[in-house]
């Protein structure tokens, strides 16, 4: 299928959404609310198999748990030892990984790493004590099964009382669906990394920018991006061109609806179970109080919007004032949205806001902005490199220039002092970061990385709404073991966009050995994003503390969405032995090599 056909089909799908939207509203009056299926207890049987679905007007086969996409909500109880029997009814091996869960390594569900996988016809029994509470999720860690539907919510009920109250509880699981074979998506990206990016700047935008910024600046800007072989419209690798965005398994026109009674406080458990899509979530007219991030309680934060990276979760409490409110989750590249409604009864809808303007990457996202005072939300065109005209450089000269300018691992502007600043620091893969520039898997090395924890992210900062940032997150209770780390490992997140190569430290998984961490070691991981994209980095088996300046109440997370040209760090105590996966949760980045094993022994 070529781009034109794809675009045509996308228009058809959108048209379907528009024309059937009203019909769906009529039909849904007679249809009962369809809550997600739920299973609870300490013994649960799950079966994975092919299941027919239709999200776009075309029949397709999904990979589903108990015939459902998303899979059933599993409600387990903190303190219980649970038994989960998973039967494979596919004709290929499968697995379930319990995302964000503290458990023994053999129960983690990563084929080839923690177990051999579940063979066709086989039942694997997962058994582990539930040591935590909160909102989590589960998904396949085999091939492209997660992309084709194998994911679901995992709710761990606390033994004690929660420090907040609510009368209604809804899971809101966001995801992305493509009618294409995921292997086709991957090979399209390999052949042409901007395959799904229809937002390339055109002659029309050139004329507009030239009027605004002047012809010279606009030409310089285009030349510079061209020489970098990058595009400021690279926001997401896979877009609404092929994806239909789902809320609890419902496309926008089907309007998933969560019911409430007027006056109730409603807890919404947002889970981003997408393969490749970052969502910006808001409920127009309502303030949301964030009470959990990645399953752990945080001090309440009042916001109007939050960005949720792939694999992250946020729990918010809202008190709807109207009979119907729209839950609006637009994709970061504004190529589409997931949508549903909070309503006092079935069949209601509230206005759907227009999508925000599509943001553009800036030089700051490439680590090339010397002026750190501002975070431009829109592309200003041109750039000032302290009098150097970088637009005249060849890409090789450019890389050389950036290498010269880039201090390998330290940079003065990024951090204030924090405990454990003087600990030994080394590159996790044992490389000299100064050698990264020019490698095949590295098309950019951020010259100037910085602390971006106080930023909501591209397209959000300065949009007039109160947005959540990682800096806002503060653990509800102090950590008992908040000792400073004794050692730090640095990882450069690297990529070659044109070739769709992704990795750590210029290497893909197959080229790298395990990262060794001593059992019981208190360790800091430093992440330096040399690419122009966000990467939701996930460590299995642990909740780590993000070093965001909150003293002994650093927020616990299992996944952190690292911004372009950002340098950030987290700390954890490696107290459970085994081979733990550490990877970007963008499925095609993981597949392309952004994956490591952390060996705790």
Residue ranges in contact with Cu ion by CB under 5 A: 535, 584, 586, 589, 594
Q: How far is the CB of 293 from Cu ion (least distance, A)?
A: 20
The rounded distance, in Å, linking the Cα atoms of 145 and 93 is 10
Task: Give the nearer residue to Cu ion in terms of CB position, either 97 or 535.
Answer: 535
Among residues 100, 226, 230, the alpha carbon closest in space to that of 156 is found at 100
Task: Give the nearer residue to Cu ion in terms of CB position, either 269 or 535.
Answer: 535
Position of tokens 């990984």? 97
Q: How far is the CB of 509 from Cu ion (least distance, A)?
A: 13
The rounded distance, in Å, linking the Cα atoms of 283 and 326 is 6
Q: How far is the CB of 372 from Cu ion (least distance, A)?
A: 24
The rounded distance, in Å, linking the Cα atoms of 201 and 440 is 27
Among residues 461, 238, 495, 239, the alpha carbon closest in space to that of 366 is found at 495
The rounded distance, in Å, linking the Cα atoms of 45 and 85 is 5
Task: Give the nearer residue to Cu ion in terms of CB position, either 334 or 583.
Answer: 583
Q: How far is the CB of 580 from Cu ion (least distance, A)?
A: 18
Q: How far is the CB of 505 from Cu ion (least distance, A)?
A: 14
Q: How far is the CB of 583 from Cu ion (least distance, A)?
A: 8
Among residues 27, 16, 105, 47, the alpha carbon closest in space to that of 542 is found at 105
Q: How far is the CB of 237 from Cu ion (least distance, A)?
A: 9
Q: How far is the CB of 564 from Cu ion (least distance, A)?
A: 11
Among residues 279, 377, 269, the alpha carbon closest in space to that of 35 is found at 269
The rounded distance, in Å, linking the Cα atoms of 525 and 231 is 30
Task: Give the nearer residue to Cu ion in terms of CB position, either 550 or 589.
Answer: 589
Task: Give the nearer residue to Cu ion in terms of CB position, either 84 or 594.
Answer: 594
Task: Give the nearer residue to Cu ion in terms of CB position, either 571 or 594.
Answer: 594
Q: What is the 3-state secondary structure (H, E, C) of 118-153?
A: ECCCCEEEEEEECCCCEEEEEECCCCCCCCCCCEEE
- Residues ≥6 apart with Cβ < 8 Å to 323: 262, 343, 344, 345, 348
The rounded distance, in Å, linking the Cα atoms of 544 and 582 is 12
The rounded distance, in Å, linking the Cα atoms of 247 and 111 is 29
Task: Give the nearer residue to Cu ion in terms of CB position, either 453 or 497.
Answer: 497
Task: Give the nearer residue to Cu ion in terms of CB position, either 535 or 553.
Answer: 535
What DSSP letter does each residue of 309-376 carry, written as one string? Answer: -TT-EEEEEE---SSEEEEEEEETTSS-EEEEEEESSTT---PPPPPPPPP---GGGGT--S-TT---
CA 361-365-371 angle, 5° bins: 110
Task: Give the nearer residue to Cu ion in terms of CB position, either 86 or 584.
Answer: 584
Q: How far is the CB of 493 from Cu ion (least distance, A)?
A: 7
């Amino acid at each position: 299928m070529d781009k034109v056909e794809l675009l045509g089909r996308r228009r058809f799908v959108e048209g379907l959404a528009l024309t059937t939207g009203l019909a769906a509203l009529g039909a849904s009056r007679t249809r009962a609310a369809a809550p997600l299926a739920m299973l609870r207890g300490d013994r649960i049987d799950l079966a994975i198999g092919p299941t027919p679905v239709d999200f776009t007007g075309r029949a397709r086969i999904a990979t589903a748990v108990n015939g459902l996409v998303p899979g059933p909500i599993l409600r387990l109880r903190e303190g219980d030892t649970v038994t989960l029997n998973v039967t494979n009814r596919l004709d290929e091996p499968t697995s379930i990984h319990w995302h964000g869960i503290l458990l023994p390594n053999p129960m983690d569900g990563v084929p080839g790493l923690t177990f051999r996988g579940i063979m066709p016809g086989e039942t694997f029994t997962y058994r582990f004590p539930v040591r935590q509470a909160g909102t989590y999720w589960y998904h396949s860690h085999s091939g492209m099964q997660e992309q084709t539907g194998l994911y679901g919510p995992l709710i761990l009920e606390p033994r004690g009382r929660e420090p907040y109250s609510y009368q209604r509880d809804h899971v809101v699981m966001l995801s992305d669906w493509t009618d294409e074979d995921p292997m086709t998506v991957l090979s399209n990206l390999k052949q042409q990394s901007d395959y799904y990016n229809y937002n390339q700047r055109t002659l029309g935008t050139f004329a507009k920018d030239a009027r605004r910024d002047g012809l010279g600046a606009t030409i310089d800007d285009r030349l510079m991006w061209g020489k970098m072989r990058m595009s400021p419209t690279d926001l997401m690798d896979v877009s609404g061109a092929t994806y239909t965005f789902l809320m609890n398994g419902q496309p926008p026109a089907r309007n998933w609806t969560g019911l409430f009674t007027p006056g109730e406080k409603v807890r919404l458990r947002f889970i981003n179970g997408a393969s490749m899509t970052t969502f910006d979530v808001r409920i127009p007219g309502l303030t949301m109080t964030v009470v959990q991030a990645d399953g752990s309680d945080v001090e309440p934060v009042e916001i109007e919007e939050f960005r949720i990276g792939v694999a992250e979760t946020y729990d918010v409490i809202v008190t709807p004032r109207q009979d119907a409110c729209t839950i609006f989750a637009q994709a970061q590249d504004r190529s589409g949205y997931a949508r549903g409604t909070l309503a006092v009864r079935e069949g209601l809808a509230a206005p759907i806001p227009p999508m925000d303007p599509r943001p553009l990457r800036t030089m700051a996202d490439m680590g090339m902005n010397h002026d750190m005072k501002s975070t431009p939300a829109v592309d200003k065109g041109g750039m000032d490199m302290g009098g150097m005209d970088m637009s005249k450089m060849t890409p090789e000269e450019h890389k050389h220039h950036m290498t010269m300018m880039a201090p390998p691992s330290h940079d003065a502007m990024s951090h204030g002092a924090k405990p454990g600043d003087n600990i030994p620091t080394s590159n996790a893969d044992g490389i000299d970061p100064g050698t990264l520039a020019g490698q095949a898997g590295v098309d950019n090395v951020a010259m100037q990385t910085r602390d971006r924890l106080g930023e909501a992210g591209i397209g959000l900062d300065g949009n007039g709404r109160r947005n959540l940032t990682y800096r806002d997150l503060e653990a509800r209770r102090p950590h008992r073991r908040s000792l400073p780390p004794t050692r730090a490992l640095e990882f450069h997140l690297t990529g070659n966009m044109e070739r769709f190569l992704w990795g750590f430290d210029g290497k893909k998984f197959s080229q790298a050995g395990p990262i060794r961490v001593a059992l019981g070691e208190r360790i800091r991981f430093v992440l330096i994003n040399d690419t122009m994209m966000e990467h939701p980095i996930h460590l299995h088996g642990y909740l780590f503390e993000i070093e965001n300046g909150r003293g002994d109440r650093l927020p616990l997370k299992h996944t952190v969405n690292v911004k372009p040209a950002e340098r950030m760090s987290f700390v954890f105590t490696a107290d459970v032995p085994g081979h733990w996966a550490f990877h970007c949760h963008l499925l095609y980045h993981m597949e392309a090599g952004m994956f490591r094993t952390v060996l705790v022994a």
